[in-house]
Amino acid sequence: MNIQVTYPDFADVKTAGVIGTGVIGGAWVLHFLRMGLDVVAYDPGPSAEQKMLAMIDKIWPTMIKLGLRDGARPDRIRFVGSLGELADAVDFIQESTPEHLGRKRALFAELDNLLAPDVIVISSTSGFAMTDMAADVKGHAERFVVGHPFNPPYLVPFCEVCGGEQTAQAVVDWTAGFYESIGKKVAKMEQELPGFIGNRLQEALWREALHMVANKECSVEDIDKAIAYGPGLRWAIMGHCLTYHLGGGQGGMAHLLDHFEESLKEPWTRLEAPPLTQQLKDDMVAGCLSQANGASIDELVQERDDCLIRIMQTLDEYRQQHGIQR
């Protein structure tokens, strides 16, 4: 296998291939269009193209608010009817098909046969290891890498880039650098960890939330209130560790670790996943509907996007004024 492949300069990347245009793939399409790229998309799902075009119509005003790169236009997207047609037209691929290991494995093996060796395939998977997803690739397994975004990737900047056993370091580096060139904040992972960084952290919180609801310890609403009006507000500014650094007062993290060392042993967390009983599912759904208070998913998305933009703009403005690089 020849792995001495040269990947394109970022400035020469003109066309993104998007495979799967659902919640995440569709949101990637919007980000790529906003960055001034052409998009070639493939999704065999019912009315996928119409749904994508409707999503672009709805979200484009948000992209305008965020600021468009030169040449960015909402109509620079073309749907194709086969992977082969897509493979001939793109400079890289962002794959966002459903989270199913067997299907992703078959898709990657097929793609590898269709693509020129210098076309990198990035998977949005929420947690599968690239080592497993690329297990059936016979040719250029070195070009497959995970680029895991957070919903919606047209707004939330963070992505984690993680290779598998066969992924070339050059591909991990290219993907991290390319993402940064299109406005993303990237963690380039040195080792393959299940759930990467962000989902591993979210999962810990999610399991605790499910335990509390299953044990009737608190309401779904209180869980969300505890985050949205509590630590979540601080996390947008400096993450979990630097936030705790301040919790140690003038002594910072060193004092905090001494101070709370004993409490780390308290049985506060219950990290085994709770059984997802029908009762627990019903309670979670009812709690969310009660919190939504009649608002539709579309209205909640609008609220989330509008507020996220304001938070991000406030953070940018403050950091620029104070010369903070983080």
Ligand X SMILES: NC(=O)c1ccc[n+]([C@@H]2O[C@H](COP(=O)([O-])OP(=O)(O)OC[C@H]3O[C@@H](n4cnc5c(N)ncnc54)[C@H](O)[C@@H]3O)[C@@H](O)[C@H]2O)c1
Residues lying near ligand X in the complex (CB under 6 A): 19-25, 42-45, 48, 96-99, 107, 124-126, 148-149, 151
Q: State the minimum distance, in angstroms, from the CB of residue 264 to ligand X.
A: 30
Q: Specify the residue, 18 or 63, whose C-beta has the smaller distance to ligand X.
A: 18
Q: State the minimum distance, in angstroms, from the CB of residue 254 to ligand X.
A: 35
Q: State the minimum distance, in angstroms, from the CB of residue 103 to ligand X.
A: 6
Q: State the minimum distance, in angstroms, from the CB of residue 14 to ligand X.
A: 22
Cis peptide before 152 (omega within 30 of 0): yes
Give the separation between CA 169 and CA 143, rounded to whole angstroms.
10
Q: State the minimum distance, in angstroms, from the CB of residue 137 to ligand X.
A: 16
Q: Specify the residue, 82 or 279, whose C-beta has the smaller distance to ligand X.
A: 82
Q: State the minimum distance, in angstroms, from the CB of residue 93 to ligand X.
A: 11
Q: Specify the residue, 7 or 178, whose C-beta has the smaller distance to ligand X.
A: 178
Q: What does each C-alpha distance from 180 to 6, 14, 35, 161, 235 come to in angstroms?
A: 19, 16, 12, 11, 21
Q: Specify the residue, 228 or 257, whose C-beta has the smaller distance to ligand X.
A: 228
The residue nearest ligand X at its CB is 22
Q: Specify the residue, 7 or 161, whose C-beta has the smaller distance to ligand X.
A: 161
**Closest to 32 in 3D by CA, of 55, 15, 7:** 15
Q: Specify the residue, 146 or 168, whose C-beta has the smaller distance to ligand X.
A: 146
Give the separation between CA 31 and CA 20, rounded to whole angstroms.
15
Q: Specify the residue, 25 or 164, whose C-beta has the smaller distance to ligand X.
A: 25
Q: State the minimum distance, in angstroms, from the CB of residue 92 to ligand X.
A: 16
Q: Specify the residue, 55 or 212, whose C-beta has the smaller distance to ligand X.
A: 55
Q: State the minimum distance, in angstroms, from the CB of residue 215 to ligand X.
A: 26
Q: Specify the residue, 48 or 212, whose C-beta has the smaller distance to ligand X.
A: 48
**Closest to 192 in 3D by CA, of 128, 107, 126, 124:** 128
Q: State the minimum distance, in angstroms, from the CB of residue 27 to ligand X.
A: 8
Q: 3-state SS of the chain?
A: CCCCCCCCCHHHCCEEEEECCCHHHHHHHHHHHHCCCEEEEECCCCCHHHHHHHHHHHHHHHHHHHCCCCCCCCCCEEECCCHHHHHCCCCEEEECCCCCHHHHHHHHHHHHHHCCCCCEEEECCCCCCHHHHCCCCCCCHHHEEEEEECCCCCCCCEEEEEECCCCCHHHHHHHHHHHHHCCCEEEECCCCCCCCCHHHHHHHHHHHHHHHHHCCCCCHHHHHHHHHCCHHHHHHHHHHHHHHHHHCHHHHHHHHHHHCCHHHHCCCCCCCCCCCCHHHHHHHHHHHHHHHCCCCHHHHHHHHHHHHHHHHHHHHHHHHHHCCCC
